[in-house]
Structure 1
Amino acid sequence: MPEYTGLKFTMPAMRILENEHRYLSFLLEEWHALVLWFEQEQLALEEARTQLHKLRKAILEFTDPLKKHTEKEETHFFPLLGTYIGFEQGPLVGIQEEHREIDGYIRHFLHHTEGNINIDLLPLEDIRAAVKDAGEAFEVLMVHFLKEETVIYPMAEHQLSPKDKERLSQQLNTLIT
């Protein structure tokens, strides 16, 4: 009897990607708690700047594993699945667009919070605007992970040949941390 791991996919390559989603979701929840803190009606400017430093640090720690995960999907997984389901339209087009959208929100947040001196000079309105980008990234990421796990990953499990499944597993079996 197989051991319960909390993962729903049986194909090793999809289990790797699903497990990476679990790790990335854990990191996401950590910095999303900080984003939610900023939704308070009354914020003290100095405390907001302190929390913004923490949020920036947490997002920076998140970006490297996210980048590695995204590169694995775009370098190995999507091109292979695309040979089965097509590249011009369908779910792969939307998923790849979401990758760009997520990257844009995160880069915009990081750009507007660059440098300790910059953060320490930001007015509250600019802090809230920057944090809004982090919140948008969170929202897109959560929906994105759900789409991959309910649409894209099951497609791969059902459509890929055994040979392609094995090759993909070997390609994806790398760390994102």
Structure 2
Amino acid sequence: MNHNSPCSAAFGDPKEINYCAPLKQLISEHPSLLAKMAEFNKMVQAFEADVTIENWNDCIKQLHDKITVFIAELDPHSNREEDVLFEMMVKYIGREGGPIAVMEYEHNTAKLNLKEFMDKSSTILEVNKSISKAEAEDIFRHLKIVYLTLTDHFMKEENILFPMAEQMLSDEEKQQLAEKFSQMA
């Protein structure tokens, strides 16, 4: 971590912060999501490197199944952040041009690319149209964007956004955050 960063001076080491339960929950959800992303990214790399693949539809099917499970886990996590945490933080730091704007942009980038992957892969699987390596790689591109975007995004949340939230939200707001999270479960 850059100790000259204004964030490090303001918040200290993120790993030493005693987070409220809702922020701990969001942080605790990252390892499983990161593991799933690493898994699908590794599959994409292996498929692209494999010169023996003849049926690219099988690769798309395998990834489609992995991404379906990933989205089922990612959506509730994202909803807690977008619908509750970001909205609570907006009144302190605004939405335009700051951390919330970046977080929302990255959420939208990931969602758009997940949707593109799912739409394209679902169509291919439904019509059972054989696709070429180039077509498969074009579809894989969406997953690469998701992987790169969210890997970096989680790091920003853990090192900047969550420490900021822990510091700026009042005890009452943290209680509201916990209550709203429990209603979403």
**TM class, shorter-chain normalised?**
0.7 to 0.9
Matched, 1:122 2:96: no
Distance in 2 (CA, whole Å) between partners of 1:7 and 1:60 is: 35
Q: How does 1:106-145 map to 2 (within 5 A)?
A: 106-115=114-123, 116-118=125-127, 120-145=129-154
Distance in 2 (CA, whole Å) between partners of 1:7 and 1:65 is: 27
The 1:53–1:68 alpha-carbon spacing in structure 2 relative to 1, beyond 3 Å, is: same
1:3 alignment counterpart? none
2:57 alignment counterpart? 49
Q: Report the identity percentage.
A: 23
* Counterpart residue type for residue 73 of structure 1: E
User: Which residues of structure 1 form unaligned runs of 5+?
Assistant: 1-5
Runs of 4 or more above 6 Å deviation? none
1:113 alignment partner, SS class: helix
The 1:99–1:66 alpha-carbon spacing in structure 2 relative to 1, beyond 3 Å, is: same
Q: Could you state the TM-score of these two structures normalised by the residue count of structure 2?
A: 0.83
Is contact 2:80–2:184 with CA below 8 Å preserved after alignment?
no
Which one of the candidate residues 106, 109, 115 is aligned to 1:101? Answer: 109
2:86 alignment counterpart? 78
1:114 alignment partner, SS class: helix
The 1:9–1:131 alpha-carbon spacing in structure 2 relative to 1, beyond 3 Å, is: farther
The 1:92–1:119 alpha-carbon spacing in structure 2 relative to 1, beyond 3 Å, is: farther
The number of residue pairs the alignment matches comes to 170
Distance in 2 (CA, whole Å) between partners of 1:21 and 1:103 is: 16
Q: 1:167 Cα deviation (Å)?
A: 1.4
User: Which residues of structure 2 form unaligned runs of 5+?
Assistant: 1-14
1:19-61 deviation line (CA, Å, top 9, x unaligned): 1112211222222221111231624222x33222111110011
1:90 alignment counterpart? 98
Q: Could you state the TM-score of these two structures normalised by the residue count of structure 1?
A: 0.86
Distance in 2 (CA, whole Å) between partners of 1:27 and 1:52 is: 16
Q: 1:124 Cα deviation (Å)?
A: 1.5
1:45 alignment partner, SS class: coil
